[in-house]
Amino acid sequence: MRTFLKKISGDRQLWVYTILLMLFSFWIVYSASSNLTNVYGKSTPLFFGVKHFIHISIGLLIIFFTHKFNPKYFSHMARVAMPFIILTLAFTLTRGITMGGANASRWIYLPGLGSVQPSTIAFVFLMMFAARFFGKNDLSQISFAESFKKFWIWVFAVVGLILPANLSTAVLVFSMVVIISIIAGYPIRDLLKVFGLGLAGLVLLILVLKAFPNRLSNRLDTWQNRIENYFDDSNKDDNSIRLNDKNYQKIQAKIAIAKGGLFGFRPGKSVQKNFLPQSVSDFIYAIIIEEYSLTGGLIILFVYLLLGLRMFFIAKKTPNRYYKLLVLAVGLPIVVQALANMAVAVGLIPVTGQPLPLLSSGGTAIWMSCFAIGIILSVSRDTEIKERKNLDEFVTE
């Protein structure tokens, strides 16, 4: 253990928060997966617990190897990856597979890895690409036409290919790119032009979906139903609610939170996990509160906020503009996604299908979150190395 600790570098607090979340995720996924034994026909939750343990173990290896890279290489990695990202998203949209009751193609199958969700991979690489563009260009000198050709056309391609099958992810991706552009100082007048083009593209997509009802219009119905159901509480107090009833998941999540109360049902004693279809992913936060009480839920929220604070600290500490934006570009989505997942569980926003980073089950989501954290630790490590070098030079003088 000591040998391993000597080999890790970068911000130690970020390491601690990440590992704590991942270790806790094993127990909560193991506990909440008893519902999946009925869905997939496995005899015990052990199968899903072991599977998740493998995922988080691979995730830790991803963090370790990624944080050893020189951060400058992530710029080249993002540039080279973007064409492949576009091709993969296009293939997924047209030839992908569906899973977990989803009525859209969001996954592809890779031998040896199983099902992979390309939109999750695209999210991280697009944010890396955004950091590269905003960090390496003088935004006061670049025209909108040039920025559109070099950057925004890639953003629209990625978002446009994700949107038909996964609206929430597309909105989150576009929102995070906009936030990073504002932080980087991109001209507001040009950003308004981007919004105009984006709105026009969304209207065009809706018209296409309406024109071809046998293609992807079911997604349009899904978007509409989720928004309508969010504002419809007609069966809010119906204890006999069935699986195919509207607001089913929202109500079951609220029941889980209410049962958790101030004391919780104790670890492994959740009842609502047997009724929530997405108990180990989209609504895992409700199960956490049911088992570990409101206090446990607040502690998890606090850990994610601490995670975000460490990311801001690392970004502030590095003198390199590109590295600052890289940390924020790949780090902020983790915190925002966590807040979105929690907001869905407690009924603040409509169902989005966003997992709880580092806690929800799912290989691709865990691995890409770990890759993002590895990038942040790489920047932190690089900053520490340069600080030690400057200090050594100062001492020798």
46-58 pLDDT, tens digit per residue, is: 777 888 899 999 9
- Mean pLDDT in residue range 325-340: 96
pLDDT at 192 (0 to 100): 94
Per-residue pLDDT for 222 more than 80? no
Structural domain boundaries, residue 98: 14-233+245-396
Residue 324 in tokens:
């600052």
Per-residue pLDDT for 282 more than 70? yes
pLDDT at 130 (0 to 100): 96
Per-residue pLDDT for 340 more than 90? yes
Total-model pTM: 0.89
Report CA torsion sign: 114, 115, 119, 120.
Answer: negative
Domain assignment of residue 4, yes or no:
no
Domain assignment of residue 240, yes or no:
no
Domain assignment of residue 84, yes or no:
yes
**Which SS3 state, helix, strand or coil, does residue 5 take?**
helix
Domain assignment of residue 318, yes or no:
yes
- Mean pLDDT in residue range 273-297: 86
Per-residue pLDDT for 240 more than 60? no
Helix residue ranges, H only, 107-234:
118-136, 144-147, 153-162, 167-184, 188-211, 217-231
pLDDT at 396 (0 to 100): 45
Please, which residues have CB within 8 angstroms of residue 82's CB and are 6 or more apart in sequence?
A: 125, 126, 129, 154
- Mean pLDDT in residue range 141-170: 91
- Among the listed ranges 93-97, 122-126, 141-145, which one has the minimum average pLDDT value? 93-97
Per-residue pLDDT for 296 more than 60? yes
Domain assignment of residue 9, yes or no:
no
- Mean pLDDT in residue range 204-231: 64
Instruction: Report the largest interatomic distance among the alpha carbons of the chain, rounded to a whole angstrom.
Output: 78
Domain assignment of residue 238, yes or no:
no
Domain assignment of residue 256, yes or no:
yes
Domain assignment of residue 97, yes or no:
yes
The top-scoring range by mean pLDDT among 94-98, 164-168, 267-271 is: 164-168
- How many domains are there within the chain? 1
Output 40 or 286, whichever has higher pLDDT. Answer: 286
Residue linked to tokens 């001209």: 187
